[in-house]
Amino acid sequence: MKKYFTDLKNDMVILYKGSKLIELFLGKWYLLLNCLVCTLRYVSPYITIYCTSLVITSLTKNAPFREILKYIIIATVSTFVIDIIIRTVNRSCLIMLNNSWYSHSALLSKKALSLDYAKAESASVQMLRGKIEECVNNGNGLSWLATCLSEMIACIFSAVIAVFMISDMVISKAPLTQSGILKIVNSPFLAAGLVIFTIAAIFISVKCHGLSEKKLFHIFNNASVFNTVAEYYNKKYLNENESGKDVRIFDEKPLIDEELEEKIYKPHRRMRKDALKVFSTIGSVSNVSANVLGGMVYVFVGLKALSGAFGAGKVVEYYGAITKLISACSDFAGNIGYLRANSVQLKQEIEYLDLVSDMKNGTKTIDDLDIDNIEFEFHNVSFRYPDTEPLVLRNLSLRIRSRERLAVVGMNGSGKSTMIKLLCRLYDPTDGYITVNGIDIREFDYTEYLRLFAIVFQDFKLLAFPIGENIACDENYSEEKVWNCLEMSGIKDRVKELPKQLQQSVYKLYEKDGIDLSGGEEQKIAIARALYKDAPFVILDEPTAALDPIAESEIYSRFNDIVRNKTAVYISHRLSSCRFCSRIAVFDNGTIIQEGTHDELLADQNGKYHILWNAQAQYYTKE
């Protein structure tokens, strides 16, 4: 019982938060208008029922045509007017609903864009988002909350009217003493019995709805797991060019068929089967009980009318009112069920929207720094990726001096790229801290802080938008500046040749006239993007991996122009790049084992650098 009340309380909290969200997304009037539509929808049949009853009563009494006509016109005209009101108000509601759907999807995207990097990666966050999307696509969530509330209010109205209409039936007495069946019909016990049965039918229907909604929620709640997989296949693996090649050459079809079967179809089938069980058993029980009750009411009302308790007109009225009462009650129950199931979904949504950043976000801006003179320092930094065991960085201490060119080399997995991720605060260190000019980087506002960096990541991604937008990361850009950057990264001529030049989209995922670029060309565009940003600190992680020797050499020889008076970190497996860096840091197993200039390091015959260098240089030193 206690649990029941805490549940109720939690639901109330969600309800409250939800109604605030309704106001935010759907507007102040939505709930009210929706209530109006629902109530009218529930109430309008009573007019028809009541008037039909009046018409039939008048007919049995042979009333004049004029009088009957009055009822007919009242019934039809009011129904028509109500219909028009319903349609019109409903149209406004639909527009509001649609708008909310859009602002809602926009909000979800915005949330995704602003999540902590570590959170953006987490499958559970992705899944939470998946659940919300699923719930919105099924029409659940916020709008559903509004619908449920409105329907519940309408149901109450409907039930009150119905009870009012039938209240005189139970107590109505036949004029003469009767015998046989008719006597039984008029006995108060039978009337009481019918009332009890009605209540029982309502109870059954309420219970069934509650139960089925609860079960269904649990059943459908798991859908997001396979929806995430399905989305990965639909939007990515079975959509993109790179995977398309592998799918064909490696004949991945049987494997993918198996994966789809195991990870999507099987759980889907299981889910549907469970849902079917609920629908067909619980749904049938309430359906049958309502129909049995309907039949009994007809018999009872018919017999009572036969005994002369009331006229034929009332038969129609009572029957209509009782069936409406039952449906109002069961709808009410259903809505409570929906509401409770929905509140769990709403909770997920509120949880997602409330996902707070785990990262400390300071208030300092980069204006607080001397931009011409910035110096980063790692203080005993250790790091492991979230949810994983091994330390990727161990006790790393490193100082990056202002305007220096630092080359970072080392074996695969030695922590070079991870160091960059920590530097630009995609993750915070597990241990230790990083400072810029002596200030802990966590004291800066994050967006502000990122203004310090222009980075070409090893696994950078271009978007399928026009080249100009890709470089400026904005629709509005200075064409001249973009061309300059393209020239510096060595791809200006190629872009000049394109029919739409800077307006040419890359890839065919967004625009149909998009062009596919080679790996080297993509890399040059990524470099141009970093140049365009013109930030004081440049980080290049394997920027020439896909470039041909000539282009690579051009980047090398232009390196000083590219970096100019900035600080630069250059990560590469091509050790030739170390030649134009002022200092080299050799990473091994998450920490720095050597530091110095190329000549110093090479002189150390036993050092790692010596081995690395020779492994590569041996092929180039002799012709």
Partner 1 sequence: MIVTNKKYGYFSNLSFMAKHHWHGHKNYIFIQLFLAPLGALTSVVAAFLPKIVLDCVENSVPPLSLLTKVTSLALLLCICEYLRNFLSVKSHHERNNARCIIFHKLICEKTMGMDYNNYIYNETRVLREKAWNAINSWEGSASRYLELNFSFISSFFGFSAFTAIIVECNPWFIPILVVCYGISALGWLLLQKYKDSVKDKFSAVHLKLGYVTFRSKDFANAKDIRVYNMTDFLMRKIEKHLKEMQGFYTKKNNGHYINVLIEDFFKFSVSLGAYIYLVHLKLNSSMTLGDFSLYFGAITGFGAYLARLVDSVAEIIESDHNVNDLRNFLNIPDNMNKSVGKPLPDRNTKVEIELKNLSFTYDGADSPSVDNLSLKINGGERIAIVGVNGAGKSTLVKLICGLFIPQSGQILINGTDSALFNRDEYYTLFSTLFQDCALLPASIAKNICLCEEEKIDRKRLYDCMHLAGIKEKVESLPDKENSLLVREVHDGATALSGGELQRLLLARALYKDAPIIILDEPTAALDPIAENEMYLKYSALTENKTAIYISHRLSSTRFCDRIILLDNAKIIESGTHEELLALGGKYAEMFRTQSKYYRQEEAV
Q: Which of residues 466-495 bind partner 1 (CB under 8 A)?
A: 469, 473-475, 494
CA distance linking residue 193 with residue 190, whole number of Å: 5
Judging by beta carbons within 10 Å of its beta carbon (0-12, 13-18, 19+), is residue 73 exposed, middle or buried? exposed
Contacts with partner 1 in 505-534 (CB under 8 A)?
508-516, 518-521, 524, 529, 533
Which residues 408-437 are close enough to bind partner 1 by CB under 8 A?
A: 410-414, 417, 421, 424, 426
The answer to whether 539 touches 453, Cβ cutoff 8 Å, is yes
SS3 506: strand
Q: Using the rule CB under 8 A, is 604 a contact of partner 1?
A: no
CB 367 within 8 A of CB 353: no
Least distance (Å) between residue 486 CB and partner 1: 14
Residues forming a β-bridge with 567? 537
Stretch binding partner 1 (CB under 8 A), from 88-96, 344-352, 372-380, 396-404: 88-96
Instruction: Please count the residues of this chain forming the interface with partner 1, following the rule CB under 8 A.
Output: 190
Give the ranges where 115-187 is alpha helix by DSSP (H): 117-121, 123-137, 142-171, 180-186
By CB under 8 A, what part of segment 42-71 binds partner 1?
52, 55-56, 59-60, 62, 65, 68-69
**Residue 110 touching partner 1 (CB under 8 A):** yes
- Please report which residue ranges of 27-64 form alpha helices under DSSP H: 30-60
C-alpha torsion sign, points 311, 314, 315, 318: negative
545 binding partner 1? (CB under 8 A): yes
Options 6, 175, 189, 549; binder of partner 1; rule CB under 8 A: 549
CA distance 369 to 374: 7
Report the residue from 29, 450, 492, 610 that binds partner 1 according to the rule CB under 8 A. Answer: 450
In the region spanning residues 129 to 148, those forming contacts with partner 1, defined by CB under 8 A, are 129
Q: Per CB under 8 A, which region of 14-22, 81-89, 352-360, 361-369 contacts partner 1?
A: 81-89
State yes or no: residue 391 binds partner 1 (CB under 8 A).
Answer: no
Distance CA(165)–CA(381), nearest Å, equals: 78
Nearer of residues 154 and 491 to partner 1, judged by Cβ: 491
**What minimum distance in Å lies between the beta carbon of 284 and partner 1?**
6
Residue choice 148, 169, 185, 538 for contact with partner 1 (CB under 8 A): 185
Query: Which amino acid is residue 544, in one-letter code?
Result: T
Query: Under a CB-based contact definition with an 8 Å cutoff, are residues 371 and 536 in contact?
Result: yes
Residue 257 has which token pair?
Answer: 């068929």
Helix (H, G, I), strand (E, B) or coil at 173: coil
Residue 367 interacting with partner 1 (CB under 8 A) = no
Least distance CB 195 / partner 1 (angstroms) = 19
Tokens, residue 596: 């110095």
Q: How are beta strands 439-440 and 431-436 bridged, if at all?
A: antiparallel
224 sits in which H/E element: helix 223-231
Task: Give the residue from 316, 304, 308, 306 showing the smallest Cα distance to 51.
Answer: 316
Q: Within 10 A of 257 (CB to CB), how many other CB atoms are there?
A: 11
Residues 21-40 that bind partner 1 (CB under 8 A): none
Which of 157, 197, 233, 433: binder of partner 1 (CB under 8 A)?
233
Can you give the C-alpha Rg of the chain in angstroms?
36
383 binds partner 1 (CB under 8 A): no
For partner 1, the binding residue among 3, 6, 177, 254 (CB under 8 A) is: 254
Angle at the Cα of 65 from the Cα atoms of 59 and 67, rounded to 5 degrees: 85
**Least distance in Å: CB of 293 to partner 1?**
10
Q: Which of 19, 126, 221, 361 binds partner 1 (CB under 8 A)?
A: 126
Question: Which of 210, 466 has the CB closer to partner 1?
Answer: 466
DSSP 364: B
> Is residue 576 a contact residue for partner 1 (CB under 8 A)?
yes
Amino acid in the structure at residue 298: Y
> Counting contacts by CB under 8 A, is residue 593 touching partner 1?
no
Does residue number 373 form part of the binding site for partner 1 (CB under 8 A)? Answer: no
Q: CB of 503: closest distance to partner 1 in angstroms?
A: 15
The verdict on 84 binding partner 1 (CB under 8 A) reads yes
Single out the segment in contact with partner 1 by CB under 8 A; choices: 7-15, 202-210, 368-376, 614-622: 614-622
Strand, helix or coil for residue 541:
strand
603 binds partner 1 per the rule CB under 8 A: no
Residues 141-180 that bind partner 1 (CB under 8 A): 180
Cβ contact 169:53 at 8 Å: no
Which amino acid, one-letter code, is at 46? Y
For residue 164, the minimal CB distance to partner 1 (Å) is: 22
Stretch that binds partner 1, among 6-14, 29-37, 290-298, 434-442 (CB under 8 A): 290-298
- Binding part of the chain for partner 1, among 157-165, 190-198, 279-287, 337-345 by CB under 8 A, reads 279-287
